[in-house]
Amino acid sequence: METFEENNGGNLLLIFVRNCELGKVKTRLAKDIGNENALKIYQSLLVHTRDIALDVNAFRMVYYSDYIDFHDTFQNEYFLKDEQHDGDLGQKMEFSLEENFEEGYDHIICIGSDCIELSSEIINRAFEELDSHDVVIGPAKDGGYYLIGMSKLHTSLFRDKPWGTSDLLLDTILDLKKTNLSYHLLETLNDVDEVEDLTEDLKSLVGL
């Protein structure tokens, strides 16, 4: 399990999360199940994300939406921590990738904290694919993606994109083709955004 006493290159997993506060997480889900239940769901998703990240062969960094939380589920000895950059999701990811590539990492993968189907095996395989592809993407069933990784920053993939829409993945792939970048698509997984996205375990957590 990687700690971070010294960076000699290698893999870095960036995890983008929202600070765990009532009424500020899983807002679409909260419309149907209430803020308290939505918070419970999100806390469970964070634990899942932490657990799979710990089994990934990489350094790990958590990027928080509002402030750095040194007392949450992500143990400080295994996770670097920072605040997200200002701007839309593309700007946040671009800035984070840029500063971390400058630190000397070889491969960097970005994930969120909404995909209960994501596993450490998938993330490890994504890093392996970066040995032979410029970019790796994990498509989401809603037309976005749950994972994106690369071995150098490709800014076109983060600019002028329809974030939060069903066209994001298609637009990203079109940019990859226009710039002649090689890419690998992982399996398609489901993000948890609506009640119908909840697994049986998540439903039972909130009594559904």
The structural domains of the chain, ordered by start, are: 11-205 (3.90.550.10)
Query: What average pLDDT does the segment 105-123 reach?
Result: 96
pLDDT at 8: 54
pLDDT at 100: 95
pLDDT for 19 beyond 60: yes
Q: Which long-range contacts (CB under 8 A, 24 or more apart) does 195-200 make?
A: 195/29, 195/32, 195/33, 198/41, 199/116
Residue 84 DSSP class: P
pLDDT for 1 beyond 80: no
**Strand-pair partners of 148:** 110, 137
**Terminal-to-terminal C-alpha distance of the chain:** 36
> pLDDT class for 206, splitting at 50, 70, 90?
confident
pLDDT for 45 beyond 60: yes
Q: How many residues does the chain have?
A: 208
**90 token code pair:** 């593309």
Which pTM was predicted?
Answer: 0.92
